[in-house]
Amino acid sequence: MIRETLLSMFNASLYAVFLYNFIFSGGLGTTEVIRAAKKNGGMLAFAGLISFFSMLTSAVSRLLTIWIPSFETLSFAWRCLLFGGILLVLYLLTGVALAFLKIRAQVFLLKYLGMAVLNTLVMAIPFLNFQRSHDLPRALAFGLGAGIAFAGASLLINSGMHKLQQNKSIPVMFTGVPATLIYTGLLALAFTGFTGASLFGAEGGI
């Protein structure tokens, strides 16, 4: 039983990281990824916040679906309000906890707390868990996988930014943000290949 649970958690996490990387394949949290990639020092800490809130929101949202039998019959609008309320409560509780804790990263965590909570990646995780009918362990692993995917995307974009800055062959009009967006788009094409989606085929292609 434990082995099967761990295996299902591993599969859910692996799916979130590679098979459907939310940033590159789904376009979730892209702005925050690029912003985090620019900050070498706080990049992984920001990714840690994303993982923390993704897992916490996944757990609480999943528990609500268990405790409230009528949850699955709620309309999409009510689920939005419920999931949004969960995020708001978690944000306030975490902010209060950080305000009282005396840790070295307190200023950084408080500064980026809002961006870590109120972004499309974290806000989408409860809906994706609900859509896939994940149990609690898989929901937690799915949230963790989203955070790992965010960290991996940040590292890839950060590395690409350094290479692009050193490349003197790039035309002036494409330096900076345009080159970064083109590079990110190429990464998105590569990761989309893992999903098996057809970009130019007859089934929903371009």
CA-derived radius of gyration, the chain: 18
- Assign 53 to helix, strand or coil: helix
Q: Is 85 exposed, middle or buried (0-12, 13-18, 19+ CB in 10 A)?
A: exposed
Tell me how far apart the alpha carbons of residues 83 and 60 are, in angstroms, rounded to a whole number: 9
Q: Look up the pTM and report it.
A: 0.79
Helix (H) or strand (E) holding 14: helix 2-14
What phi and psi values does residue 119 have, to the nearest 5 degrees?
Answer: -135, 160
Mean pLDDT (whole number) for 122-140: 83
pLDDT value of position 30: 79
Distance of CA 62 to the CA centre of its chain: 17
Per-residue confidence (pLDDT) for residue 194, from 0 to 100: 65
H-run or E-run covering 93: helix 76-100
pLDDT at 198: 57
Q: Is the pLDDT of residue 166 over 60?
A: yes
Instruction: Name, of 1-10, 98-107, 177-186, the range with top average pLDDT.
Output: 177-186
How many C-beta atoms lie closer than 10 Å to residue 6's C-beta?
12
Q: Answer for the pair 155, 38: CB distance below 8 angstroms, yes or no.
A: no
